[in-house]
Structure 1
Amino acid sequence: MRNPGDEIVTLDENGDTAGAGEGPVRSCILTRTRDSRDALIRLVLTPGGQVLPDLRAKAPGRGAWIGATRAELDHAMAKGRLRGALSRAFKTGDIAVPDDLSTRIAAGLERAVLDRLGLEARAGHLLTGSDRIETAARGGQLRALFHAADASADGARRLAQAWRVGSDKEGSDLKGVVLPLPRTILALALGRENVVHLGLTDRAAAARVSETLDRWLHFIGPDQDAQPCETASRGSSAPGVSGANAGRKRNEESE
């Protein structure tokens, strides 16, 4: 990663750079690509020699970072490349990598997304129900729009159109993100009934959800029914978009 000439650069405990204005930068032990620690996944070595994901990056001790997708990680595990990279990072060959490491990471990242949505709901930043979301969208108050994987295409299109009208972006491709989660999972996580569509009305909340979601979607890969979103922190007025799944049977919300 390029560092401006007047930027103070220091080395962290893992030998990676930390720019004064960007925060710590880490290197993926598999691909050697560099990114901020918030975009990568930290692995730690337990006292018993087991390698575990540390998604919050708060566990003590030396860490190893990966920015690979799930498919890349599984391939590296099958070829023995992950073990070799971890041995070099932890400076020991006495390590045990669980066979379900990628499953644990994917589950943890999914939980982080659901937890973040729950926090924003409790803070009053999240709307559910087509009517409430459409009203906020047409009033220019909507900052992010998401749909369950089993949401109807018609319902998603109607809300997207309302969002474009309220954002004065008619004719653009602004629309919501289809989450790789069914309504039952979203409803259970949020403690609400029949959660099909979700809207965020706070710009900072939209950025927080988008960052957490981007991290998960990058790891699980493009074969899922969603696309990464651009966050408000990257200069966008709202998260980026993905089309709702076509061909779904129309389901109306009861809320």
Structure 2
Amino acid sequence: MKNTVQHKSTLCSKKRKCIATGEIREKHEMYRFVVDPENQVLPDLAAKLPGRGLWIKADRVSLQLAIEKKLFDKTTRQNLKIKEGLIIELETLQSRRLQDLIRLARKAGQAVCGYEKVKELLSKDKVALLIQAFDGSGRGKSKLSTPDKAKFIGCLSALELGEAFGRQNAIHCAVTPGGLAKRIVDEAHRLKGLRRNFGEKSPERKRQLNER
């Protein structure tokens, strides 16, 4: 009876064990993978696909370790197929997921972009999140400070942040308190773990700046 209760508690828990590091973490700090009928490892960002979940801490090093050491195979005791470029694909999907949430916040009237609009919202003390593009001007970004009780996100490029607002690019964004703000923070944390070379401008962003 005791073992049954413990097993049920584990299933209901919001924590999972990383197959790469052995760490126990909250599910929103991890990535879930499943195996399809063709033995292909698939990312399940929403954690809703059927089948056994294979959980990995949301950082590039842990995912690379799992791939290089064949930990997906060892955990399932199967010979699995891992698509070449899985990490890049996952980063792209995660970026879109974060953009979609910011877009949803914008449509709900909970997010604005542009220096003046963000500055105005900050002055009213109504900001839960300050988001700034990692490839934006450091001088411009330094003029806006994150409030004491707010969170800062800096893992999106100007092009990515702009897409969330239907613009060519955006450097500054502010999100007001609410459920969407919490979800944006969680998804940004997962994306940040995958990203490298923060502060480097993308080729497209460099082209835009050179054309000015």
Q: Is this a same-fold pair by TM over 0.5? A: yes
Match of 1:11 among 2, 7, 25: 7
* 2:109 aligned with 1:124: yes
Name the amino acid aligned to 2:111: L
Q: Is the 8 A contact 2:155 2:192 kept in 1?
A: no
Alignment deviations for residues 35-70 of structure 1 (CA, whole Å, 9 cap, x no partner): 122221111111011111111111111121111521
CA distance 1:58–1:76, shift in 2 (3 Å) = closer
**Secondary structure at 1:99's aligned position in 2?**
coil
Which residue, 126, 131, 141 being the options, matches 2:126?
141
Higher relative contact order (CA 8 A, sep 6+): 2
Q: How far 1:75 sits from its partner (Å)?
A: 4.2
Q: What are the ranges of 5 or more consecutive residues in structure 2 without an aligned counterpart?
A: 201-208
Whole-Å separation in 2 of the counterparts to 1:50 and 1:101: 11
1:184 shift after superposition: 2.5
Q: Conserved in 2, the CA contact under 8 Å of 1:51 and 1:98?
A: yes
User: Contact 1:53–1:104 (CA<8 Å) still a contact in 2?
Assistant: no
Check conservation: 2:59, 2:190, Cα contact below 8 A.
Answer: no
Q: 1:212 maps to which residue?
A: 187
Instruction: Confirm whether residue 44 of structure 1 aligns to residue 34 of structure 2.
Output: yes
**C-alpha distance in structure 2 between counterparts of 1:62 and 1:194, whole Å:** 39
14, 39, 44: which is aligned to 1:24? 14
CA pair 117-175 structure 1, distance change in 2 beyond 3 A: closer
| Corresponding position: 1:59 with 2:59 | no
Checking the alignment, whether the CA contact within 8 Å between 1:30 and 1:68 is kept in structure 2 is: no
Shift of residue 180, structure 1, vs aligned partner: 3.7
SS at match of 1:65: strand
**Which secondary structure does the structure 1 equivalent of 2:143 belong to?**
helix
Aligned to 2:165: 190
SS of 1:102's equivalent in the other structure is helix
- Equivalent position SS for 1:191: coil
In the alignment, is residue 177 of structure 1 matched against residue 177 of structure 2? no
Q: Following the alignment from structure 2 to structure 1, what is the Cα–Cα distance between the partners of residues 184 and 165?
A: 14
The answer to whether structure 1 residue 89 and structure 2 residue 64 are counterparts is: no
User: Cα RMSD over matched residues?
Assistant: 2.8
Equivalent residue of 1:17, what SS?
Answer: helix
Q: How many residues align?
A: 199
User: Residues 186 and 207 of structure 1: is their aligned pair in 2 closer, same or farther, counting only changes over 3 Å?
Assistant: same
| Structure 2 CA distance for aligned equivalents of residues 176 and 154 of structure 1 | 17
- Of the structure 1 ranges 69-78 and 99-108, higher mean CA displacement relative to structure 2 is found in 69-78
Identity fraction in percent? 26
Q: Which runs of 5+ in 1 are unaligned?
A: 1-7, 227-250
Q: Does 1:224 align with 2:198?
A: yes
Residue number among 89, 109, 134 corresponding to 1:104 in the alignment: 89
Given the two structures, how large is their TM-score scaled by the length of structure 1? 0.68
Normalised by the length of structure 2, the TM-score is 0.80
User: In structure 2, what residue type is equivalent to 1:104?
Assistant: E
